[in-house]
Amino acid sequence: MKTLHTAKVIAMGGRNGRVKSVNGCIQLPLTSYDYLGRGKREGTNPEQLFGAAYSACFGNLLELLAEQQEIELRPNFSVTSKVSLQRDATRKFQLEISLDCYLPDLSEAEATKLIYAANEICPYSNAMRDNVKIVFNWLSDEE
């Protein structure tokens, strides 16, 4: 396997700490939720960071595949992630993810084909396949 890129990010102090990338582009405070019993302060959280990464990667693949398949995507297409942190009956933490793909001017058939193809090659989808519930939604201009 050929490595294309390696990103290095340091998390200090867990959910109430900070994250920073080695190249300095990311420098953010983290915050936990009240349910974890540690109070809440201004900041982001691992679920938001993961959702940002997943939706950006997935959107890039939608764009790449649309170009390869000669499907015209409007410049305002988007992917909105919803990453839910859950706890199961055995008290294990799990994730549930929803990706809302706004693909204006595409038919349902074109959008479904594109979303399915992106899901097959997306590294985030591949890492979670058969382990995390992921729901894909197509949003058109009518919605």
The Cα angle at residue 61 between residues 55 and 66, in degrees rounded to 5:
125
Task: Give pTM, 2 decimals.
Answer: 0.90
Q: CB-based contacts of 18: which residues, under 8 Å, 6+ apart? A: 11, 12, 27, 28, 29, 30
Q: How confident is the model at residue 43 (pLDDT cuts 50, 70, 90)?
A: confident
Q: Write down the pLDDT at residue 16.
A: 86
pLDDT confidence tier of residue 15, bands split at 50, 70 and 90: confident
Give me the residue spans of the domains in the chain: 1-44, 46-139
Domains 1-44 and 46-139 share a fold: no
Tell me yes or no: is domain 1-44 CATH 2.20.25.10: yes
CATH superfamily membership of 46-139? K homology (KH) domain (3.30.300.20)
